[in-house]
């Protein structure tokens, strides 16, 4: 079985190069990461 490493706080908001997106980490096993990236237009007031 793989080893889970939480790297959520690895990058500051200033270093992230995406806008109006969120990242969903599906699986992390032994340094291999499967991810899904979803983008949406920003909604005023949220």
Do the domain assignments include residue 26?
A: yes
pTM of the entire predicted model: 0.21
Contact 40, 21 (CB under 8 A): yes
Q: How many domains is the chain built from? A: 1
Do the domain assignments include residue 20?
A: yes
Q: Please report the pLDDT score of residue 30 as a whole number.
A: 74
Q: Please report the pLDDT score of residue 36 as a whole number.
A: 63
Banded model confidence at residue 22, pLDDT cuts 50, 70, 90? low
What is the per-residue pLDDT across 31-44, written as a single tens digit (0 to 9) for each? 776 666 665 566 66
| pLDDT above 60: residue 1 | no
| pLDDT above 70: residue 18 | no
Domain range for 36 is: 16-46
Do the domain assignments include residue 21?
A: yes
Q: Please report the pLDDT score of residue 46 as a whole number.
A: 54
């Amino acid at each position: 079985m793989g080893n889970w490493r939480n790297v959520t706080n690895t990058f500051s908001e200033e270093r992230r190069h995406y806008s109006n997106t969120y990242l969903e980490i599906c699986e992390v096993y032994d340094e291999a990461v499967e991810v899904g990236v979803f983008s949406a237009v920003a909604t005023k007031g949220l």
